[in-house]
Amino acid sequence: MAALRVAVLLLLVLCLRGAAAAVPLVIWHGMGDSCCNPMSMGYIKKMVEDKIPGIYVLSLKIGNNMIQDMQNSFFMNVNDQVRDVCGQLAADPRLQGGYNAMGFSQGGQFLRAVAQRCPSPPMLSLISIGGQHQGSVYGFPRCPGESSHICDWIRKTLDLGAYTQAVQEHLVQAEYWHNPLKEEEYRKNSVFLADINQERGVNETYKKNLMALKKFVMVKFLNDTMVDPPISEWFGFYKSGQAKETIPLKETSLYTEDHLGLQEMDKAGKLVFLGVAGDHLHVTEEWFYSTILPFLQ
């Protein structure tokens, strides 16, 4: 009887280990969205949970409720948001062994900032779906809710003074606004993107932390009408001084001078570049299951 009890206990332990084997996932929504919208992040969360039994999925919420979370995606300083998220992750006991991260649109570059600035708990892999890693929405072609007053106001504000201190401190989209016609102004005054992209010097800690990722997956939307230029989703951008011709990551100084370690990561097979037909964040369940899910298992 004692031997039977021991065998049952061992079997139970093995089952519990199996149930906990799935690497946790942290997701961060994009502009104008929220953590738990059943039509967006809530739906993604359920898709992952249905396909990976036992996985813990944390959909990040910045604020006390969904309304605040949505508003903060427009108006809360990105550095403060990243600091808040780092605190959430550090305090979550289910993440201490490491986690995968998946960011949508601006959530992609925000999670990259988390990887660079907050290595504990460790981010294992980062999946950026439409993230603007060289900056974007240059010209702000559209934003969620095309007729919304908030979108019109943001456009006017960016046109008037994207790099002024007041706008940089309080308007999220200005903090990754990269104007190729004003590169020096961007490098000097950008409070977020210029920092995480090492535009003002190399922070070796940022570089070391990013290089610790096992995989850095970047998804570019081939028919994107929101991100300008779409190649920013693969770390490319406009040639400096004009807004017509673009260059890929490997021709940028960020890569050739390896400010972030991307060249070394590329040679090690850690960078994954995926293209998907469709407009910004428009994907099918089939594509998500066949292309993205394998990186989470």
- Give catalytic status of residue 92 as yes or no: no
Give the closest residue to 81 by CA, choosing from 205, 202, 169.
Answer: 169
From the list 224, 228, 232, 259, the catalytic residue is 224
Task: Please report the DSSP string for 89-145 in residue order.
Answer: HHH-GGGTT-EEEEEETHHHHHHHHHHHH--SSPEEEEEEES--TT---TT----SS
Please indicate whether residue 280 is annotated as part of the active site: yes
**Structure tokens, 122:** 């460790």
Render 66-101 in DSSP notation, one character per residue: HHHHHHHHHHS-HHHHHHHHHHHHHH-GGGTT-EEE
CB 264, CB 258: distance < 8 Å: yes
Q: Show the CA angle centred on residue 59, arms to residues 31 and 265, nearest 5°.
A: 80
Of 34, 73, 105, 190, which one is the catalytic site residue? Answer: 105
Which residues are CB-contacts of 275 (< 8 A; sequence separation ≥ 6)?
A: 219, 220, 221, 222
What is the DSSP pairing of strand 215-221 with strand 123-129?
parallel
Is 120 among the catalytic positions? Answer: no
Residues with catalytic function: 105, 224, 280
